[in-house]
């Protein structure tokens, strides 16, 4: 029997574009069905006015529908921008665009991301390069978008000065992070998949230190919705099943092609689209999304803005480094740490650590299960304290922590292996 062959099977960039466009539409539709329409605009307004300090759950601030609508708008805008710039889509660009949608559920919106992207455009102009060379890093750089929102809300000056200061700090971020990110990658040698979050953490520390010198401090925030909304859960599970079936069809209905992805350590650069094809990548994205939701349910966690953002982020990086085999030891290590430390697996910070700690998956993939568990335990211990250094204004807090863990652990592992 002749297998069905998708007409775009040999055009991966176009297939990725269509998948991400479908994902954007899914988020927008969820926004329209999860809340009454008369609450959407007031909810979006509340989201745009929020200071966005970690952890600020947009499900609480603007309502579930408005949060999903914001995520859809941010994802679609990012996708259309990259399309306009004629970007060739890859596993990394999938990760960048999906992480935009994920964090648009708890910290990013069209307003606070715009100045950073403008700064990214200025950096490209300064380098005399096309913008599409830096746009992916620019999208990741919006992890510092809370600085824009916080400064606008924190100042008690004239409106024009608040707007100018907020926009100005965003432009600075967008200009500086792309210059720093290539250098921080050498610190962890590709073992932290969230490299821009690591670079942005250093920028955030510097900026927060300056702001504190002017008596401006963000303090701690915990806005968190409890529970597993049944309709949202059903919509997400249904979408993941459809994505898996799509990938299965593109893989000539051969499930074993999914298993080939697990041969890779995940160490950057690990672009599964180019290594194994679009079909297996779609299946891996779906499986990772299902496993992430399953883990949240198993530990008695929640499906809200931050955790769904984590699930979406994992799906994005399942095209660029993450798979079940290299992620499981990291999650096991984080769970093991809760048995020794004062935390519970269902604590908000630990739920996020288990999801975003998978940025350390290459350590498990390269050095084995034991070192992966150790990396997860160390990540759990550090991530719960490091956020205060920059006042919760780096959305990729786990990315910065993962960079520190890799910076400490990888040289030790390599040293022990040499001695052995």
pLDDT at 220: 79
Distance of CA 203 to the CA centre of its chain: 18
Do 256 and 326 lie in one domain? The reply is yes
Do 42 and 144 lie in one domain? The reply is yes
Residue ranges of E strands in 145-239: none
pLDDT at 5: 54
Partners of 56 in the β-ladder: 223
Do 205 and 235 lie in one domain? The reply is no
What is the C-alpha separation between 88 and 350, in angstroms, rounded?
36
What is the C-alpha separation between 238 and 23, in angstroms, rounded?
12
Which of residues 155, 187, 213 is at a domain's end? 213
Domain that holds residue 176: 12-213
pLDDT at 7: 53
Which of residues 146, 179, 213 is at a domain's end? 213
Do 23 and 168 lie in one domain? The reply is yes
Query: What's the total number of domains in the chain?
Result: 2
- Residue 4 forms part of a structural domain: no
Measured between its terminal Cα atoms, the distance across the chain in Å is 53
Do 315 and 252 lie in one domain? The reply is yes
- Residue 127 forms part of a structural domain: yes
Do 287 and 178 lie in one domain? The reply is no
What does the pLDDT profile of the chain (420 residues) look like in tens digits? 445 455 555 589 999 999 999 999 999 999 999 999 999 999 999 999 999 999 999 999 999 999 999 999 999 999 999 999 999 999 999 999 999 999 999 999 999 999 999 999 999 999 999 999 999 999 999 999 999 999 999 998 999 999 999 999 999 999 999 999 999 998 999 999 999 999 999 999 999 999 999 999 988 799 999 999 999 999 999 999 999 999 999 999 999 999 999 999 999 889 999 999 999 999 999 999 999 999 999 999 999 999 999 999 999 999 999 999 999 999 999 999 999 988 999 999 999 999 999 999 999 999 999 999 999 999 999 998 898 899 999 999 999 999 999 999 999 999 887 655
Phi, psi of 89 (to 5 degrees): -75, 140
Do 238 and 379 lie in one domain? The reply is yes
- Residue 326 forms part of a structural domain: yes
Do 269 and 306 lie in one domain? The reply is yes
- Residue 279 forms part of a structural domain: yes
Q: pTM of the entire structure?
A: 0.95
Which of residues 178, 213, 248 is at a domain's end? 213
pLDDT at 265: 94
pLDDT at 419: 56
The DSSP call for residue 226 is -
- Residue 7 forms part of a structural domain: no
The DSSP call for residue 131 is G
- Residue 196 forms part of a structural domain: yes
Do 193 and 243 lie in one domain? The reply is no
Tokens of 416: 């022990």
Do 169 and 45 lie in one domain? The reply is yes
- Residue 1 forms part of a structural domain: no
- Residue 218 forms part of a structural domain: no
pLDDT at 1: 41
């Amino acid at each position: 029997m002749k297998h069905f062959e998708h007409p775009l099977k040999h055009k991966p960039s176009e297939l990725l574009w269509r998948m991400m466009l479908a994902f954007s539409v899914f988020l927008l539709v969820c926004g329209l069905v999860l809340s009454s329409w008369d609450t959407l605009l007031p909810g979006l307004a509340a989201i745009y006015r929020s200071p966005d300090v970690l952890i600020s759950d947009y499900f609480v601030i603007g309502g579930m529908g408005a949060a999903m609508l914001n995520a859809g708008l941010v994802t679609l805008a990012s996708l259309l921008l990259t399309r306009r710039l004629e970007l060739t889509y890859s596993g990394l660009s999938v990760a960048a665009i999906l992480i935009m949608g994920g964090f648009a559920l708890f910290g990013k919106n069209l307003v606070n991301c715009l100045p950073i992207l403008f700064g990214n455009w200025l950096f490209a102009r300064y380098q005399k390069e096309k913008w599409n060379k830096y746009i992916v890093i620019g999208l990741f750089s919006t992890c510092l978008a809370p600085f824009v929102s916080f400064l606008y809300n924190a100042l008690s000056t004239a409106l024009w000065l608040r707007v100018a200061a907020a926009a100005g700090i965003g432009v600075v971020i967008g200009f500086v992070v792309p210059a720093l990110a290539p250098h921080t990658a050498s610190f962890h040698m590709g073992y932290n998949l969230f490299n821009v979050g690591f670079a942005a953490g250093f920028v955030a520390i510097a900026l927060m230190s300056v702001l504190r010198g002017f008596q401006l401090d963000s303090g701690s925030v915990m806005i968190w919705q409890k529970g597993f909304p049944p309709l949202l859960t059903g919509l997400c599970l249904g979408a993941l099943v459809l994505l898996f079936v799509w990938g299965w069809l593109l893989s000539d209905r051969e499930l074993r092609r999914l298993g080939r992805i697990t041969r890779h350590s995940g160490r950057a650069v690990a672009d599964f689209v180019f290594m194994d094809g679009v079909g297996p990548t779609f299946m891996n994205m779906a499986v990772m999304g299902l496993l992430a939701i399953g883990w949240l349910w198993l530990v008695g966690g929640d499906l809200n803005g931050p955790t769904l953002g984590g699930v979406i982020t994992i799906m994005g990086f399942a095209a660029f480094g993450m798979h079940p085999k290299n992620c499981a030891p990291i999650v096991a290590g984080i769970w093991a740490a809760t048995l020794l430390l004062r935390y519970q697996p269902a604590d908000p910070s630990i739920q996020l650590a288990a999801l975003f700690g998978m940025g350390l998956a290459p350590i498990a993939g390269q050095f084995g299960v034991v070192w992966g568990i150790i990396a997860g335990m160390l990540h759990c211990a550090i991530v719960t304290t490091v956020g205060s250094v920059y006042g919760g204004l780096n959305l990729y807090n786990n990315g910065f922590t993962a960079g520190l863990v890799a910076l400490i652990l990888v040289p030790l592992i390599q040293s022990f292996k040499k001695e052995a």
